[in-house]
Amino acid sequence: MLFPALHTTPDAPALRFGDRGLTYGHLARTAGALAHRIRAGVGDPPRVAVWATPSLETAVATVAALLAGAPVVPINPKIGHRELEHIVTDSEPGLVLTAPDVTLPSGLADVPRVDVTLADQAAPLTDEPDDTTPAFVVYTSGTTGAPKGVVLPRRAVVSTLDALEEAWQWTRDDVLVHALPLFHVHGLILGVLGPLRRGGSVRHVGRFSPAAVARELNDGATMMFGVPTMYHRIADEVTDDPRLAAAFGRARLLVSGSAALPVHDHDRITAATGQQVVERYGMTETLMNTSVRADGQRRPGSVGLPLRGVALRLVDDHGTPIDAFDGETVGEIEVRGPNLFTEYLNRPDATAEAFHDGWFRTGDMAVRDPDGYVRIVGRKATDLIKSGGYRIGAGEIENALLEHPGVAEVAVTGEPDDDLGERIVAWVVPHGTPPAADELSDHVARLLTPHKRPRVVRYLDALPRNDMGKIMKRALR
């Protein structure tokens, strides 16, 4: 059973979006009624699209579909017409669930619509399907070609959320606050279903601001989930605002994910609040793989240890496992475990290509420290730079550059070089007057090693980012 608290704690608070909320009892009756409607009308294949606005209705729709055993296809409300057409054609949803006041785009005109209301009353369905049944089809960002539908079984959701319970000491007493979008794994599966599986509660503040999160932390919230762009704003504001710093200092756990949190922001938040942000590492295809534990050492720049049930290894360019735990040898992360997806929808070729000897190829490059902690150094496709015979991760250079007072934001890439193979390029958003390129290059050489210094520095007003705050490095090329 995915959500035991629907049957055991009817008076406990479950969801709050702004000034609207539901107890577990109300959620059980509302989602139960919608689940019966889904079972009656979904058709075959039994998939449902959810127009995933950051709203109470999105959370209710997702819970109801899971109770009904229908896989959820979350759809970004800002989606373009071409991508929407692809998702609808590829996933063939039998229904689209949405809040009543939403005008849906024409790309969903042929999908029967069901408005999610909070007044329907019926008992939740109890005959949930087995753990191999698909729970979600989440579409990847599609860096090359059309987005692929990642089919996540119920066992992946359960194994990840239960492993995080152990790692983060997550209980029904925790109150999670966040402002994440609900069409990704981070905001929807971790940020909504995570608290509901524990029997705790979630408060979604809508548009992110440090002040909005601080109000909830001052009012009993114990945990925050966020992405690095959010923590960068927090780091900027808590430095000069003691009341804001005190609010964040009250949190039991501040968790960052979806991209690497720069060490500079880690250090600023810790200095102002006394809190050390916890980082974790996951993907759409794998849900969560590693995390720093609540009771473990919180090491800036590290995503911690493999979660319970997850096997993780590094391999070289030939797929040979790397045994070194030296904090220097870079390899690609491969994982296996119950947290993995089952397939890319309608893409057996891509599914087969994603696996190597039963291990999922993540495309992420990392090193492992002597105690087993994993440090991500970047994506194989965009962040691994082969320069002068060295394999260099862009992430450590970015962290070094962020320690320079003249650098506000930075991304590091490689570009072809006749002599070196690739040369290191730093794309810098300056803080004030742009520092000289030679100064930044020498700064990296002093902190790291000379072969890791940028050979080219380019200045920008802003870095291109996606909805989750990840830097889109392909746009820099």
Of all residues in the chain, what percent are helix, strand and coil, respectively (each to 5)? 30, 30, 40
* Residue closest to 39 by CA, chosen among 9, 79, 68, 67: 68
Helix (H) or strand (E) holding 296: none
The superfamily in CATH containing domain 384-476 is: ANL, C-terminal domain (3.30.300.30)
Determine what percent of the chain is predicted with pLDDT higher than 70: 99
The CATH class, in words, for 5-168 is: alpha beta
Tokens of 318: 């030939």
Cis bond before residue 153 (omega within 30° of 0): no
Q: How confident is the model at residue 138 (pLDDT cuts 50, 70, 90)?
A: very high
pLDDT of residue 454: 93
CA 216 from centre of chain = 22
- In this predicted model, what pLDDT tens digit does every residue of 317-326 receive, in sequence order? 899 999 999 9
The pair of structure tokens assigned to 401 is: 């550059």
Contact predicate 393/378, CB 8 Å:
yes
Cβ-based neighbours of 190, under 8 Å, separated by 6 or more:
160, 161, 164, 225, 257, 288
Q: What is the pLDDT of residue 451?
A: 83
Confidence of residue 121 (pLDDT cuts 50, 70, 90): confident
The Cα–Cα gap between 195 and 187 comes to 11
**pLDDT tens readout for residues 279-295:** 999 999 999 999 999 99
Name 13's bridge partners.
23
Instruction: Compute CA distances 73 → 65, 106, 159, 351, 458, whole Å.
Output: 10, 17, 20, 19, 40
For 39-52, what is each residue's pLDDT tens digit?
A: 988 878 899 999 99
Is residue 263 within a helix (H) or strand (E), and if so which, with residue range? helix 263-273
CB atoms closer than 10 angstroms to residue 69? 20
* Selection from 176, 172, 182, 174 nearest residue 73 by Cα: 182
Side-chain half-sphere exposure of 14, counting CA atoms within 13 A? 28
CA distances from 378 to 44, 184, 365, 381 (A): 40, 20, 5, 9
Please, which pLDDT band fits residue 448 given cuts at 50, 70 and 90?
Answer: confident
Confidence at residue 142, expressed as pLDDT on a 0 to 100 scale: 52
Position 123 pLDDT exceeds 80: no
Instruction: Give me the pLDDT at residue 392, please.
Output: 80
CA distance 313 to 322: 7
Per-residue pLDDT at 209 exceeds 90: yes
Question: Does the pLDDT of residue 250 top 70, yes or no?
Answer: yes
Closest to 152 (Cα-Cα) out of 342, 294, 4, 311: 342
Measure the CA–CA gap between 80 and 304, rounded to whole angstroms: 36
Is the pLDDT confidence value at 125 over 80? no
Q: What pLDDT is attached to residue 145?
A: 66
Helix intervals (H) in 130-187: 154-168
Burial class (CB in 10 A: 0-12, 13-18, 19+), 55: buried
* Nearest CA among 338, 340, 342, 386 for reference residue 365: 386
**DSSP E strand boundaries for 270-358:** 278-283, 287-291, 305-306, 311-315, 321-322, 331-336, 343-344, 355-356
Determine the average pLDDT of the residues in 347-358.
94
The whole-chain average pLDDT of the chain stands at 92
Q: Identify the pLDDT of residue 468.
A: 66
Q: Given pLDDT bands bounded at 50, 70 and 90, which one contains residue 152?
A: very high
Name which of 269-283, 309-323, 388-402, 433-447 the model is least confident about: 388-402
**How many other CB atoms sit within 10 Å of the CB of residue 308?**
16
Please state the domain extents for the chain.
Answer: 5-168, 384-476
Query: Which of 140-154, 308-322, 342-356 is predicted least confidently?
Result: 140-154
Which residue has better confidence, 166 or 262?
A: 166
Where helices occur in 303-418 by DSSP H, the ranges are: 348-353, 394-402
pLDDT of residue 400: 87
**Each residue of 416-445: pLDDT tens digit?**
887 787 899 999 999 889 999 999 999 998
Instruction: State the pLDDT confidence band at 85, using cuts at 50, 70 and 90.
Output: very high
Task: Write down the pLDDT at residue 51.
Answer: 98
In tens, the pLDDT along 456-472 reads 999 999 998 877 677 88
Q: Residue 387 has what pLDDT?
A: 83
